[in-house]
Structures are given as C-alpha cells and as structure tokens.
Chains A and B, each alone.
Chain A
C-alpha cells in the first residue's frame, strides 16, 4: 500500500474543508472497502481523513421516521430493536450483506459509498472506464456473468454491490449530506448515478460533501421481504436481489415499494411494478405479471442472460414470501 497522511477530523465542516483543500484525499470510516481498494492500488489517496470521531452514531425515531447516523455500524443498525421491528426490510437487507465481522466495522455511510465489485475494476492490468476513464470497458466483451441488465452504457456495465441500499431505495430514504456550504438532503433514488459517459462517478455528491445520516419516512408497510440470490448461501455478492415492502389488508395490496439489486449501477427501483400490484388482490397471476413487467427492457450480455429468468423467479419468490 502506498503510504499516505492520516488525520482525524473533529467536525463535519473541518472534514469537508480538509477534503477540498487536498483533492487527492478521502474520508475513511469503517475502511472495509477503501483499505482493500488501497491495497490493490485501485485508489491511492495522499491523505486519509478519519471521520470516526464525529458525533454521527445515533439511531433515532421521530414523528417523521427513522434517522440513522452515518457512522452507525451495519451490525448495530441490523440488530437495533426499532430497525428490526419497524423497518424489517432494512434489517434483512443489512444482514444479507458481507459477514458479521465486516458488518461490525462497516458503517451505514460507508455502505452507501462502497464501490462496485466488478472483477475488471479490481484487476489493475485490465482496461476499466470506472478506474481509468477512457481506457474502455473490459466487461462488455468479457466475463460479464455478474453484470448489469438495466441502465448500463457501453462505457460501463458494473453493478452496485450493496444490499442495504436496495432496501433504502425501496423505502424512499433520504441521504443527509454536509459540505463547506451547509447541508442538503438527497433523495435515495437521486444519490447514485447510472454510468453513462462518466462511469468514474458513482454518485452525485460534490467534492467535500460528507454523508451525515440516512432518514427513512415512517413505515407504512406491514409486510416485507429481502431475497438475495447468490452463488453460496451466505457471504457473497448478489446475482440478483429483490426488496419488497407491502401494505396488505384482507388479501389486498394497498401499496407497495420494490427495488432490485445486482442488476444495475444503482439500486433499481421498480416504480411501474409498484403501481401494477397496488390496489390488487394477492395472486400468483399478479406476481407473475409483476415479474414480467420488472424485466421489461432488460439488456443482457454474453454471460448474464440468466439474470432475466432468475430475476423473474426472484420477484415472484420475494412477493410470495412477503405475503405468506
């Protein structure tokens, strides 16, 4: 690992100022992704700004909903009584990600900031537009079994790796950020980007902006399920995943929130499918129709055609599990 300076920030503002002052600096919280990227030479910051001393470790329930501080470890959020009982979809998604050790280290803010696990992004001997803009995408013609089927470009077909973010996208979360000019709120759907011609940009944060918290509106759903399909039963990234939250009464779906993981450069919200299932009685036919609609417009590559069939099956399974 190339050496770097290490400083600790004592306020969000000071952290942002330090970040802007040195363009080659990065914030570090849990470090589970960043330290790995630095070991592999994918990123080489001149300075790390340790933000762990900032007071961003609270989970609080208010009249408007839930607020989770950016520095809350994934395991603390997953095991928090309020999260488990009032936002079970989030707890399930958190527990589907990484391992127990990593969840003890990784923070909620860091989870949102984690980078793709595309094997070509990680292989510094191969071209990658996300790592080295303009060099090309090795995955388009390469071994693209894990790659995107929605929203990709010829510049990048990588997927976002997070499970937690799929649940947050479905639950209409908001990302609270702080910068040198003040604070702002970014709706979760607008936080991450599609690759387009700038796949090096994962999200819409401005330089120096720091995630301080995630807020989720009051939960109006009474059924939830997070289904993750992967190469082994635990501790692997998703091939596809489906987050489902439903408000069900007397066998009728009154409202729905759904998103998929493992299929796009960002958590893939299923707005049209939500509309389709809302106001309709639970039935196998409805779930089959929902699955077909969700996969409309998918674009596959040589090795990931299976994701269409798998995605449909996963949606039917997640809806069935949520309602049974």
Chain B
C-alpha cells in the first residue's frame, strides 16, 4: 500500500487516483471505506491494493487480504485451495462454480470476493459431515448423476438450492430451475432422478 505499488501495474499510471499519493498509506488494514460526503473524497481515492476480508467458509472463519478484482471462485480455488468448486466458463454460463452464500446458490465466478464481507460461504467441501456424505451427494452416486464429474460439484450445490427454494416439485420444475447447470456428458435424466429422490425424502437441507 505504498507508491511503489505503481510499478506492479504500469498500465494504471494514467489513472487519476495514483496521482494522489498522500492518502495511499494507512489503508492496508482498514475495513472497506464508506463513501461519505464529497469532502472526504481525496482520502477515499486510495484503494487499489489488497483489502481485508472476513468470510466464514464451510464453518471456518477466514481473515484474508484480497485484491478487489479477485472473484469468489478464484479466492476459493487459488488462495484457499478449495478446488472442489470448478471453473468451467468463468462467465456465469455453465454453473460449475455454484456455491452457497448465506444459504443461496450463486455463480462464484461473477461475484467479487470483497463484496461478500461477513458472509457464510458453503462449497462442495462443506457438505459432508466427516465420512457421512450429504444426502444429495449420496443420491447423485446412487442415480449415477454424472459421467466425467466436472460439473458435479456445481450440480450438487445447485440441486440443494433448487429444493430449498421450493422449485423441485416436479421433474419439469427441476429441469427449469436447474437450467443454469450445464452437463456436457448429458447426465440430466439421472440428475433429475437424484434431486426428485432427495426432495421426496423430505430431509431439511
């Protein structure tokens, strides 16, 4: 968080905020600033490098330093080694990167990590209870809901969300509300069967 940082990003030199060197210090450990009145603008004009970020990931509190441009997906995979969450398209089109944020399924590739301050993240690694698999994991195995397996973590996270949201009342309903998860192997019929079984089991997910 010093002026030297400019050297890491020479393409940024045109950017106006780097001209304002006075405020660049003392920000490394502050929580993200609130935009206040216009007179505070000069001080705000300093955020560029890593920001502190606190997340609860699979029940564990994590205190991290993250660049604003890092997506939640890249944070999970690259910084925390949680590679169960997959990067497919990286543009919100395939669903491989689906995780739960405060219990809701989202595409982690389109979520900036810093925008999840204080939230609870659940990934595929957080589903099992020790050796005891989550009912949705069991159902995917029982119904052969995958072939290559690359989309499977996203499918399972999304499937849990689908039931939680109340959109798994029929096979047709499931197909519609699971359409954000693409499976190139074409395991769809078995995926629908797995979700139907868990839904009919009535367990709280």
A residues neighboring B (CB under 8 Å): 1-10, 14-15, 17-18, 21-22, 24, 28, 31-32, 35-36, 38-40, 46-50, 52-53, 75, 79, 95, 98-102, 104-105, 233-235
Q: Which of A8, A39, A53, A100 has the most CB of B within 10 A?
A: A100
B12–A3 CB distance below 8 A: yes
B88 CB → nearest A CB, Å: 12
- How many residues on the B side are at the interface (Cβ–Cβ under 8 A)? 51
Residues in A whose Cβ lies below 8 Å from that of B167:
100
> Are the CB atoms of B105 and A8 closer together than 8 Å?
no
Question: B148 interface residue, CB < 8 Å from A?
Answer: no
Q: Tell me the nearest residue of chain A to B68, going by C-beta.
A: A6
Instruction: A6 to B162: give the CA distance in the assembly, Å.
Output: 32
- Name the contact of A39 in the complex, choosing from B35, B46, B91, B176 (C-beta under 8 A): B91
Residues of B within 8 Å of A3, CB to CB, are: 9, 12, 48, 67-69
Q: Could you tell me which B residues sit within 8 Å of A by CB distance?
A: 9, 11-12, 15-17, 32-38, 41, 44-48, 51, 67-69, 71, 90-92, 95, 98, 104-107, 110-112, 114-115, 158, 161-162, 165-167, 175-181
B14 to A, closest residue via Cβ: A46
Taking a contact as CB atoms under 8 Å apart, the answer to whether B112 and A101 are in contact is no
A214-B134 Cα distance, complex, nearest whole Å: 41
B105 touches A100 (CB 8 A): yes
Would A101 and B68 count as touching, CB distance under 8 A? no
| In contact, B67 and A10 (Cβ under 8 angstroms) | no
Report how far A104 CA is from B158 CA in the complex, Å: 12
Q: Which residues of A contact B32 (CB under 8 A)?
A: 6-8, 50
Whether A101 and B107, one on each chain, are in contact in the complex, defined by CB atoms closer than 8 angstroms, is yes
Chain A residues, Cβ within 8 Å of B44: 7, 18
Docked Cα-Cα span, A79 to B16, in Å, equals 44
How far in angstroms is the closest Cβ of chain B from A106? 9
The chain B residue sitting closest to A3, CB to CB, is B69
